[in-house]
Amino acid sequence: MAPSIAVSIDIRAKRFEGATGLLLDGLRLDVSEGEVLALVGPSGVGKSSLLRMIAGLDADFDGQITVFGQPASEAGPPGFVFQDPRLLPWLGAAANIRAVSPATTMSEAVSLLGEMGLSGFETALPGSLSGGMQRRVALARALAVQPRLLLLDEPFVSIDRKLVRELHDVIGRIAEQRRPTMILVSHDLEDAARLADRVIQLQGRPARIIAETRVETRRADRNPARLLEIVAQLDEGSGE
């Protein structure tokens, strides 16, 4: 049986007020339930804007986006990890989770932090955490709403590659164990190669899909040599 469609995107036109041209024009894309989709492209191409539209945070466009069969603006809230962790600086890690999801018990918040590899940091203030640890708290907070859809907007930006690879492992485990539908925005082909089931590459203004690549290798089997092959394949598809 074919997987059901989790997110259906049909954008006829998207422009910003005062802009002379369109940001998106005739963009059509479906995301299957349980799929990890990576949206890759240069800064300014519209990746983050598209993610906000999928989340229902931006309804100012001509077209339709549905999430599990409902208009994006009416669907239940997705888990959303922004480029900036957006943690409240006066609250500890567990309290930051509960501030967004009050229904989450302290025990559940502690468990989520443990899943992120942050056991023992439940009361730590954001200012005492590294950039990578702050991203993990933000990820735990996104999971607290038990989302069927998880949106990740450049979650690896501004942290060093060692921490990025550790975060790759955390997100990979979430994909395999929790199996949410996941849409990852990144400008880095390695992020897509490591995590995605399918990679959509965007380019131009208005943005268009220039390549679509399905990664058949299981995430657990993507060793360094295989990752290099996948990145090379994606790089070839981008035409660079």
- The pLDDT value recorded for residue 193 is 95
Closest CA to 202 of 51, 27, 76: 27
Closest CA to 31 of 197, 228, 222, 231: 197
- Ordered per-residue pLDDT tens for the chain, 240 residues: 556 999 999 999 888 876 677 888 989 999 999 999 999 998 888 899 999 999 999 988 999 999 999 999 888 889 999 888 899 999 999 999 999 889 999 999 999 999 999 999 999 999 999 988 999 999 999 999 889 999 999 988 888 888 888 899 999 999 999 999 999 999 899 999 999 999 999 998 888 999 999 999 999 999 999 999 999 999 886 655
- The pLDDT value recorded for residue 137 is 94
- The pLDDT value recorded for residue 156 is 87
CATH class of 5-78+149-238: alpha beta
> What ranges do the domains of the chain cover?
5-78+149-238, 85-146
Q: Find the DSSP H helices in the chain.
A: 47-54, 93-100, 106-115, 131-143, 161-177, 189-195, 224-238
- The pLDDT value recorded for residue 18 is 67
Contact 137, 81 (CB under 8 A): no
- The pLDDT value recorded for residue 2 is 59
